A = this chain, B = another copy of it.
Amino acid sequence: MSKTNPGRFFEDYKIGQVIRHAVPRTVAEGERALYHALYPARHAVYSSDEFAANSGLESSPLDDLIAFHVVFGKTVPDVSLNAIANLGYGEGRWLLPVMPGDTLRSESEVIGLKQNSNGKSGVVYVRTRGLNQMDETVLEYVRWVMVRKRGADAPAPETVVPDLAKVVPAEALIIPDGLNFTDYDFELAGEKHRIGDYEIGEKIDHVDGVTIEEAEHMLATRLWQNTAKVHFDATNREDGKRLIYGGHVISMARALSFNGLANAQMIVALNAGAHANPCFAGDTVRAWSEVLDKAETDAPGVGAIRLRLVATKGDSAAFPLKGEDGKYLPEVLLDLDYWALMPV
């Protein structure tokens, strides 16, 4: 009997099944430093213990996307090893900051199944939770992926498509305990713009671009213990290219968005996300954002801003998104819809 992991196929998933993903991970100052080396990350709450303390936090948490990547990486051997495509994200919420020394693990519950009409694959919906060493949920999100069937003759399961919210409602956002932006130092944070300075519908070109190298995306993807072979093995595709982990593009675009959104400090919800086109080494990634909504919160001085974050290998100043056919333009890499916290 083979000792290696063949991954799960479509017919291996059952509604209500809870998968406890392997290999818990303690994250600390080393992961934080690597995050700053891999991405041009400058949001002050995640860069400075002093700035975080002045914002009412104990000290600087690990970047929200470190939490996301670590939790996501654990699901790969169980959810996406035989995946054909990562179709979408939704109902994502960050529930607790992850502090250096915390140990994270992940669990996923199967909440939807829909066999494709070709009978060769199907869509699996899972709700994934990241838990810390106290078994507190730090993060949760829904992801749906298209997964191969082992055998075409396996019977189709009853179709269950979960009813997912298009957007996490502002009143469901969880604000970190103690967060307080009333003494916010805009000069130290890098920009003077508060939430009132942004208008719904406003688009921001983040200007800067980063050309990606193979070594960088592999270092990042390994760091999150995501071992999907497409990211590492140049013999895996006919063209010899390694597909860049979609989360690498998310972190790159989010870090680039500092220039224009320096005060969109903490990510608290992931409403939706699409990896519009694959990204490869040599691509120069740029980003633009659109303000989709704004909301108040109960925390002093803290507002919530809903943003579309688009990564492109083309000209971000042209705000590329979709063509007349409603499909993503070929230069668009990512279309992400999230809520962040910003001083009012």
Contacts and interface: CB of A to CB of B under 8 A. Distances in A.
Interface residues of A, number: 76
Interface string A245-265: 000000000000001111000
Given A33-B33, A34-B34, A284 B234 contact: yes
B227 A26 contact: no
A189 interface: yes
A229 to B, nearest CB: 5
Interface stretch (A165-173, A218-226, A304-312, A326-334): A218-226
A91 interface: no
Given A210-B233, A232-B40, A233-B211, A25 B48 contact: yes
A37 B4 contact: no
A197 to B, nearest CB: 8
A235 B317 CA distance: 15
27 contacts: A3-B193, A3-B204, A5-B190, A20-B187, A22-B44, A22-B189, A23-B44, A23-B188, A23-B189, A23-B190, A26-B60, A28-B30, A29-B30, A30-B32, A30-B33, A36-B225, A38-B222, A39-B222, A40-B225, A48-B105, A208-B229, A210-B218, A210-B232, A211-B232, A213-B215, A215-B215, A234-B284
Interface of A: 2-5, 20, 22-26, 28-34, 36-40, 42, 44, 47-51, 60, 77, 100-101, 103, 105, 133, 187-191, 193, 197-198, 204-211, 213-216, 218-220, 222-223, 225, 227, 229, 232-236, 242, 259-262, 282, 284
